[in-house]
Amino acid sequence: MNPFDYRRAEDAAGAAAMVADNPAAAFLGGGTNLVDHMKLGVAAPEVLVDITHLPMDEVEALPEGGVRIGANVRNSDLAAHPLIRRRYPVLSQALLSGASGQLRNLATTAGNLLQRTRCVYFQDTSTPCNKREPGTGCSALEGYQRYHAILGASPDCVAVHPSDMAVALTALDAQVVVQDAATERRVPIARLHRLPGEAPEHDTVLNHGDLITAVELPDMPMAVHARYRKVRDRASFAFALVSVAAAMSLGADGSVSDVRIALGGVAHKPWRALRAEEALRDGPATEERFAAAARAELAEARPLPGNTFKVALARSAITATLRQVHAEARGGDGHGGPGGHGEEQR
Amino acid sequence: MSTTSERPAARTGAIGAGPRRVEGPAKVAGTAAYAYEYRAADAAYLAPVQATIARGRVAAVDTAAAEAAEGVLAVLWHGNAPRLRTDAELPGLQQPGELHVLQSAEVHYRGQPVAAVVAETFEAAQHAAALVTLTYEQLPHDAEFSAGRTDLATPKEDHRQGDVKAAEGEVVVDQTYTTPMQHNNPMEPHSTMARWDGEAITLHESTQGAHMVRETVAELLGLEQGRVRVVAPYVGGGFGSKGPLHAPTVLAVLGARAVPHRSVKLAATRRQMFSLVGYRSPTVQRVRLRADAQGRLSGIDVTATVQSARLGDFIEEAAGPAKSMYAAPNRRMGHRAARLDVPVPTWMRAPGECPGMFGPEVAMDELAVACGLDPIEARVRNEPERDPATGKPFSTRNLIACLREGADRFGWADRPAEPGARREGEWLVGTGVAASFYPVVPPVGGSRALVRHAGDGRYVVSLAAADIGTGAWTALTQVAADVLGVPLEHVEVRLGDSALPLASLAGGSTGMMSWGSTVHAAATAFRRLHGDDPAPGAEAAADLPEVAHRDDYAMHAYGAQFAEVRVNTDTGEIRVPRLLGVFAAGRIVNARTARSQFVGGMTMGLSMALHEESVLDARFGHVVNADFAEYHIAANADVADIQAHWIDEHDPLVNPLGAKGIGEIGIVGTAAAVANAAYHATGVRVRRVPLRLDDFLDAVGA
Ligand SMILES: Cc1cc2nc3c(=O)[nH]c(=O)nc-3n(C[C@H](O)[C@H](O)[C@H](O)COP(=O)(O)OP(=O)(O)OC[C@H]3O[C@@H](n4cnc5c(N)ncnc54)[C@H](O)[C@@H]3O)c2cc1C
Ligand code: SF4
Interface pTM, i.e. ipTM: 0.95
Distance from CA of B624 to the nearest CA of A (A): 6
Contacts of B702 in chain A (CB under 8 A): 312-313, 315-316
Q: Is A192 in the pocket of ligand 1 (CB under 6 A)?
A: no
At residue A207, the pLDDT reads 97
**Assigned domain for A294 exists:** yes
Distance from CA of B228 to the nearest CA of A (A): 34
**Assigned domain for A157 exists:** no
Q: Do the Cβ atoms of B630 and A319 come within 8 Å?
A: no
Given CB atoms, is B632 within the 8 Å cutoff of chain A?
A: yes
CA of A144 from ligand 2 middle (Å) equals: 10
At residue B405, the pLDDT reads 98
pLDDT at residue A339 tops 70: no
Dump pLDDT digits (tens) for A203-252: 999 999 999 999 999 999 999 999 999 999 999 999 999 999 999 999 99
At residue B15, the pLDDT reads 87
Given CB atoms, is B138 within the 8 Å cutoff of chain A?
A: no
Cβ-based contacts under 8 A for chains A and B = 100
At residue B699, the pLDDT reads 86
Q: Which-ligand-closest: CA of A114?
A: 1
**Assigned domain for A170 exists:** no
> Domain limits of chain B?
24-32+443-543, 35-140+188-274, 392-441+552-696
Nearest-5° angle of CA B662, CA B404, CA B433? Answer: 70
Determine the atom of ligand 1 nearest the C-alpha atom of A99: 5
Q: Do the Cβ atoms of B694 and A231 come within 8 Å?
A: no
CA atoms within 13 A on the CB side of B364: 30
**Three-class SS string for B562-596?**
EEEEEEECCCCCEEEEEEEEEEECECCCCHHHHHH
Contacts of B181 in chain A (CB under 8 A): none
Query: Quick one: DSSP state of residue A43?
Result: -
Q: Which-ligand-closest: CA of A201?
A: 2
Given CB atoms, is A44 within the 8 Å cutoff of chain B?
A: no
CA atoms within 13 A on the CB side of A88: 33
In this structure, are residues B683 and B552 in contact, taking their beta carbons and an 8 Å threshold?
A: no
Quick one: closest CA in B to A239, which residue?
A: B629
Amino acid at B691: L
Q: Is A139 in the pocket of ligand 1 (CB under 6 A)?
A: no
Q: Do the Cβ atoms of B622 and A317 come within 8 Å?
A: no
Beta-bridged to residue B247, according to DSSP, are none
Q: Is A106 in the pocket of ligand 1 (CB under 6 A)?
A: yes
Q: Is the peptide bond before A89 cis (omega within 30 degrees of 0)?
A: no
Given CB atoms, is A244 within the 8 Å cutoff of chain B?
A: no
Dump pLDDT digits (tens) for A260-314: 999 999 999 999 999 999 999 999 999 999 999 999 999 999 999 999 999 999 9
Q: Which-ligand-closest: CA of A98?
A: 1
What rounded mean pLDDT belongs to chain B? Answer: 96
User: Which CATH superfamily includes the segment(s) B35-140+188-274?
Assistant: Aldehyde oxidase/xanthine dehydrogenase, a/b hammerhead (3.90.1170.50)
Given CB atoms, is B38 within the 8 Å cutoff of chain A?
A: no
B652: Cβ contacts below 8 Å, ≥ 6 apart: B658
> Which residues of B are part of the catalytic machinery?
664
Give the CATH class of B392-441+552-696. alpha beta
Angstrom distance (rounded) from CA B276 to CA B245 = 10
Crossing angle of helices B517-530 and B472-484, in 10° steps, is 30
DSSP, collapsed to helix, strand or coil, labels residue B28 as helix
In this structure, are residues A233 and B692 in contact, taking their beta carbons and an 8 Å threshold?
A: yes
B24-32+443-543 and B392-441+552-696, same CATH topology: yes
Given CB atoms, is B126 within the 8 Å cutoff of chain A?
A: yes
Given CB atoms, is B622 within the 8 Å cutoff of chain A?
A: yes
At residue B14, the pLDDT reads 87
Distance from CA of B501 to the nearest CA of A (A): 42
pLDDT at residue B2 tops 90: no
**Assigned domain for A139 exists:** no
Q: Which-ligand-closest: CA of A180?
A: 1
Contacts of B127 in chain A (CB under 8 A): 1-3
Q: Do the Cβ atoms of B638 and A235 come within 8 Å?
A: yes
Q: Is A259 in the pocket of ligand 1 (CB under 6 A)?
A: no
At residue B111, the pLDDT reads 98
Best of B52, B274, B570, B627 to substitute, by most chain A Cβ atoms within 10 angstroms, is B570
DSSP, collapsed to helix, strand or coil, labels residue B688 as strand
pTM for this one? 0.96
Dump pLDDT digits (tens) for B399-451: 999 999 999 999 999 999 999 999 999 999 999 999 999 999 989 899 999 99
Distance from CA of A249 to the nearest CA of B (A): 23
Q: Give the residue among B268, B264, B267, B251 at the shortest CA–CA distance from B44.
A: B264
Name the closest-CA residue to atom 27, ligand 1.
A111
Phi, psi angles (nearest 5°) of residue B256? -70, -30
pLDDT at residue B3 tops 80: no
CA of A196 from ligand 2 middle (Å) equals: 10
Dump pLDDT digits (tens) for B164-178: 999 999 999 999 999
Question: A332 pLDDT band (50/70/90 cuts)?
Answer: low
At residue B10, the pLDDT reads 55
Angstrom distance (rounded) from CA A53 to CA A9 = 9
Mean pLDDT across the stretch B18-32? 94
Q: How many structural domains is chain A composed of?
A: 1
Name the closest-CA residue to atom 2, ligand 2.
A157
At residue A283, the pLDDT reads 96
At residue A212, the pLDDT reads 98
Q: For residue A230, what are the domain limits?
A: 223-329
Question: A95 pLDDT band (50/70/90 cuts)?
Answer: very high
CA B495 to chain centre: 20
Q: Which CATH number among 3.30.365.10, 2.160.10.10, 3.40.50.1370, 2.40.10.220 corresponds to the domain B24-32+443-543?
A: 3.30.365.10
Given CB atoms, is A126 within the 8 Å cutoff of chain B?
A: yes
Mean pLDDT across the stretch B334-351? 98
In this structure, are residues B121 and B260 in contact, taking their beta carbons and an 8 Å threshold?
A: no
What rounded mean pLDDT belongs to chain A? Answer: 95
**Assigned domain for A317 exists:** yes
Phi, psi angles (nearest 5°) of residue B659? -100, 135
Residue A266's CATH number? 3.30.390.50
Q: Do the Cβ atoms of A316 and B570 come within 8 Å?
A: yes
CA of B555 from ligand 2 middle (Å) equals: 53
At residue A335, the pLDDT reads 40
**Residue B482, CA distances (Å) to B444, B519, B533 in order:** 26, 11, 16
